[in-house]
Chains A and B, each alone.
Chain A
Amino acid sequence: DADVTQTPRNRITKTGKRIMLECSQTKGHDRMYWYRQDPGLGLRLIYYSFDVKDINKGEISDGYSVSRQAQAKFSLSLESAIPNQTALYFCATSLAGAGRRNEQFFGPGTRLTVL
């Protein structure tokens, strides 16, 4: 089974609709992240959470909100979707602490289309 899962994998929605993307992990990591990927722009950070009670805005948080329901679950919501939020969304996790590498592990991505 995958360590980081995202649901749904694909979603088409209409402008103005509320949509939630969900992320679950079995890696036991404290830190979780949401990114979006647009062609030619790499990945950009939307929100991140260091633990259940610690949620922070990333580079492009406008139009998004998040909820950390448990250590293993981190959801991203678009309160009123707009077409320029069409993108590939990734959830990621990592260890906390002063470890040398602590690379981020990514989920498979959710392809969201807003019409």
Chain B
Amino acid sequence: AQKITQTQPGMFVQEKEAVTLDCTYDTSDQSYGLFWYKQPSSGEMIFLIYQGSYDEQNATEGRYSLNFQKARKSANLVISASQLGDSAMYFCAMREPSGSARQLTFGSGTQLTVLP
């Protein structure tokens, strides 16, 4: 079963507007972490934002915020005031404590294009 689902293969947004990238997850653990990474066309993976499952407030990092709805198991990324440099692939990922590995499970990504 898919642990991380990103249902939007591609998204377009006008420069200076806000955009929401969807992410739903599946876990039976009570303690877990959710991450968003950005991958520009150059290929590197850039950490954007983190949300812990016990965090009561939604995470924010500059223009990035995470709309965390625990009961719905969703962790959507909101980018405010989009810039041309935001055009990239965005990956949602989850880290679970069960099992011995603290690795990440990634979604398939959303390609965001910011239009001038």
Q: Could you tell me how many residues of chain B have their Cβ less than 8 Å away from some Cβ of chain A?
A: 22
Q: Are B50 and A101 in contact (CB under 8 A)?
A: yes
B33 to chain A: which residues have CB within 8 Å? 100-101
Binds B, one of A11-19, A62-70, A75-83, A105-113: A105-113
Instruction: Give Cα A108–Cα B52 distance, bound, in whole angstroms.
Output: 26
Q: Are B52 and A106 in contact (CB under 8 A)?
A: no
The residues in B between 37 and 74 inclusive whose CB is less than 8 angstroms from any CB of A are 37, 43-45, 47, 50, 52
Instruction: Give Cα A40–Cα B111 distance, bound, in whole angstroms.
Output: 10
Q: Is B25 an interface residue (CB 8 A)?
A: no
Q: Are A43 and B91 in contact (CB under 8 A)?
A: yes
A101-B50, A103-B50, A109-B43 given as contacts; is B107 within 8 A of A42 (CB)?
yes
Residue B103 contacts which of A48, A101, A111 (CB distance < 8 angstroms)? Answer: A48
Q: Are A58 and B47 in contact (CB under 8 A)?
A: no
- The residue in chain B whose Cβ has the minimal distance to the Cβ of A101 is B50
Binding site for B on A (CB under 8 A): 31, 33, 40-45, 48, 56, 58, 88, 90, 92, 94, 100-106, 108-109, 111
